Amino acid sequence: MKKSDIKELINILRKTYPDAECSLDFKTPFELVVAVCLSAQCTDERVNLTTPALFERCKTIEDFVSIDLTELENLIHPCGFYKNKSKNIKKCASQILEDFNGQVPRDMKSLITLAGVGRKSANVIMLEVFGIAERYRS
């Protein structure tokens, strides 16, 4: 595709979907990180049904670090792949505390170092939390 075609396509999408927004429910940047991790191989609707109890139990990043792995697995079980996702969420929380002073990083290079966060997830986090749209670079 030529650059002009891409720009035209983006304009069509903006006109067609003017109110497009993330369908995951979150209040803090880290809640979105968790929700995005849970959304892999799962519907956003299911994630939004699961996260209220999770976020009530774990109100801070420190809570995610200290929660018992089995308890976390039980809380996120409805989202599927709960064993792997729970390990990633706990490790991600630890990484944010240790490597980023408890703040979700706001750049692609740092975000993709977090457990359970790939490029697609990082793009969602950057756009929804920080309003930064990363351009694709091949």
More confident residue, 14 or 113: 113
Burial degree of 89 (CB within 10 A; 0-12, 13-18, 19+): buried
Percentage of the chain exceeding pLDDT 90? 76
More confident residue, 47 or 22: 47
Q: What is residue 116's DSSP assignment?
A: T
Which of 120, 122, 116 lies closest to 93 in space, CA to CA? 116
Cα 105 to its chain centre, rounded Å, is 12
Tell whether the model's pLDDT for residue 97 goes beyond 90.
yes
Residue ranges and CATH numbers for the domains of the chain are: 29-130 (1.10.340.30)
Round to the nearest angstrom and report the end-to-end CA distance of the chain. 14
Question: How far is it, in rounded angstroms, from Cα 21 to Cα 112?
Answer: 22
pLDDT in tens, 31-40: 999 999 999 9
pLDDT in tens, 51-96: 999 999 999 999 999 999 999 999 999 999 999 999 999 999 999 9
**Are 116 and 37 contacting, i.e. CB atoms less than 8 angstroms apart?**
yes
Tell whether the model's pLDDT for residue 136 goes beyond 70.
no
Helix (H, G, I), strand (E, B) or coil at 137: coil
Question: How far is it, in rounded angstroms, from Cα 82 to Cα 70?
Answer: 10
Could you write out the three-class secondary structure of 77-108?
A: HHHCCHHHHHHHHHHHHHHHHHHCCCCCCCCH
**Are 107 and 129 contacting, i.e. CB atoms less than 8 angstroms apart?**
no
Return the pLDDT at 138: 46
